Amino acid sequence: MVSEEGVFDSLDQWIEERMRRRTILRDREIFFKVMNEQIERIRSVGLKGLI
Amino acid sequence: MQEYDLIREKAKELARGVVSEEGVSENINEFVRDRILYCLDEWDVKPIEVLRKGRGMCAGKALLASELHRAMSISTRFKVIKVLGEGGILDFVMHQLEETKNSSLSLEERERVREAILLLPPERDHIILQVFLHGQWRDFDIARDKDLDRGMRLLGIRRERKVVSEEGVFDSLDRWIEERMRRRTVLRDPWDTEGEEGGFRRGGIRLLRSMD
């Protein structure tokens, strides 16, 4: 065990927060993926020298 | 091989056959600018990781170039500036998201990326490498590789950086990056109350400045 995070009568709020964190991490991943795919597309245009 | 040894070996390779500090610096800057491809990444990627991946953002590339220079006993430091992002890569991506229908993204995912871009502040942090040559500090912007730059030109994406302000000059970026990570970047946990400066809140997700 690393640490005790807290004691709760209900886990509803904790679970909601946990799910929100997971969604945000996934959104970050998607954002980086989309941006870097587009950067790669732009680079490939530069590499070929054509549109 | 130790991390520093790898960087020193690379620096030696780039300096081979070159006599002047200026020539060594030119080789290092060309290598980092064009062979380490620009990508969007976190701010706190170590120079050795940038070298291994062959990709990096402005901060990671400047840090790698700095390590390579310092391995050859050439002094460097970093200038942090704010630039306007308007008309750049983000605008292009935004347009692509609106135009492209056969994306691998779901409509919801596409909308979230669009929203993330829309909520970014107009000013972006950017890192310039400074190298001490012939008794003076010279600026080098080595973020964008030449193929990406050419692609941007051909596609009509604005390449010039409109500098809004100079945030300072630093011998080390460690503390700046640590602070920058606290107020980073695209999508951030709304429960975390640190790093409000420069941030935006909407729909329970806080979006903060990023790139490039």
pTM of the model: 0.80
> H-type helices in chain B, by residue range?
3-15, 21-30, 47-53, 58-71, 89-99, 107-118, 146-154, 174-182
Cβ within 8 Å of residue B192, ≥6 positions away: B206
pLDDT given at position A22: 76
CB pair distance less than 8 Å for A28 and B154:
no
Measured between CA atoms, the residue of chain B closest to residue A14 is: B191
Cα B154 to chain centroid, rounded: 22
CB pair distance less than 8 Å for B89 and A39:
yes
Q: Which residues of B touch A17 (CB under 8 A)?
A: 191
Q: Provide the pairing of β-strand B55-56 with B37-38.
A: parallel
- A47 or B194: which carries more pLDDT confidence? A47
Domains of chain B are 3-207 (3.10.620.30)
Using only the alpha carbons of chain A, give its radius of gyration: 21
In angstroms, the CA B124 to CA B208 distance is 10
CB pair distance less than 8 Å for A24 and B189:
yes
pLDDT tens track for B166-178? 999 999 999 899 8
pLDDT surpassing 70 at residue B122? yes
